[in-house]
Structure 1
Amino acid sequence: MTSHNRIRIPDGFWAGLYQLGITAQDVVRKAKMPLTVITESVVTTEQYIAIWQAYSDIIGDMEDAIIKLPTTFETAQYPPSVLAAYHARDYRDALKRMARYKEMCPPENIRIVEEGESCTIEVEWLDTGLPGPPLLVGTTLAFLLELGRRGTGLPIQASLVEFNHTMNQVQGLEDYFGCPIQFGAKCNRLTLHRGDLDRPFASYNAELLDILTPVLHQTLEEQRGSHSITEIVKWILKRSLTGERLEIQDVASELGMSERTLQRRLTDEQTTFKQLMREARHELAKEYLANPNLDIKEVAFLVGYKDQSSFYRAFRCWEGNTPLNWRTEYVSINSIN
Structure 2
Amino acid sequence: MVCLGLCVRIGSNCLIDILCQRPDSAFMSKPDYLPSGFIHTLQDYVAERALPAAALQEEMSQCLESPSVPAQKFCELLAAVWEQEPVSALGVRLGLAAKPGYFGVVGYMVSYCGTLGQALARYHRYQRLLQHGLVSRAELKEGALRMRWTQSVANTPLASEFSLAVFVSLCQALIGRAITPLRAGLPFPKPQDVGMYQALLGCPVDFDCSAIELTIPAHLLALPISGKDPYLLRLLEQQAQALLNQLPQMDDAEAGASFHRVQEQILESMKNGDVSAVAVAAALGCSVRTFYRQLRSAGYSYRGLLAHTRHTLARQYLADPALAQTDVALLLGYSEQSSFIRAFRSWTGMTPGEYRSHLERKAGSAVR
Q: Distance in 2 between matches of 1:183 and 1:228?
A: 34
Choose the corresponding residue for 1:135, options 152, 158, 161: 158
**Which residue does 1:205 correspond to in 2?**
229
Choose the corresponding residue for 2:181, options 158, 170, 183: 158
The residue type equivalent to 1:90 in the other structure is T
**Which residue does 1:148 correspond to in 2?**
171
Choose the corresponding residue for 2:37, options 2, 12, 16: 12
Choose the corresponding residue for 2:92, options 46, 59, 66: 66
The residue type equivalent to 1:103 in the other structure is R
Q: Distance in 2 between matches of 1:48 and 1:210?
A: 31
Closer, same or farther: CA 80–62 of 1 in aligned 2, 3 Å: farther
**Which residue does 2:199 correspond to in 1?**
175
Q: What TM-score comes out, normalization by structure 1 length? A: 0.57
Q: Which runs of 5+ in 1 are unaligned?
A: 236-279, 286-337
Alignment of structure 1 residues 248-327 onto 2, 5 Å: 283=289
Choose the corresponding residue for 2:220, options 180, 196, 199: 196
**Which residue does 2:142 correspond to in 1?**
116
**Which residue does 2:208 correspond to in 1?**
184
Choose the corresponding residue for 1:105, options 126, 130, 140: 130
Q: Distance in 1 between matches of 2:39 and 2:221?
A: 30
**Which residue does 1:92 correspond to in 2?**
117
Q: Distance in 2 between matches of 1:24 and 1:82?
A: 29
Q: Distance in 1 between matches of 2:42 and 2:166?
A: 15
Q: How many equivalent pairs are there?
A: 233
Q: What's the offset of the Cα at 1:40? A: 3.6
Q: What's the offset of the Cα at 1:284? A: 5.9
Greater Rg, structure 1 or structure 2?
1
Q: Distance in 1 between matches of 2:250 and 2:33?
A: 16
Closer, same or farther: CA 173–70 of 1 in aligned 2, 3 Å: same
Q: Which runs of 5+ in 2 are unaligned?
A: 1-25, 48-52, 259-285, 292-368
Q: What's the offset of the Cα at 1:13? A: 2.3
Q: Which one has more relative contact order, counting CA pairs under 8 Å at least 6 apart? A: 2
Q: Distance in 2 between matches of 1:205 and 1:282?
A: 39
Q: What's the offset of the Cα at 1:4? A: 8.1
Closer, same or farther: CA 57–88 of 1 in aligned 2, 3 Å: farther
Choose the corresponding residue for 1:53, options 79, 83, 86: 79
Q: What secondary structure does 2:137 align onto?
A: strand
Alignment of structure 1 residues 70-81 onto 2, 5 Å: 70-71=96-97, 73-75=98-100, 79-81=104-106
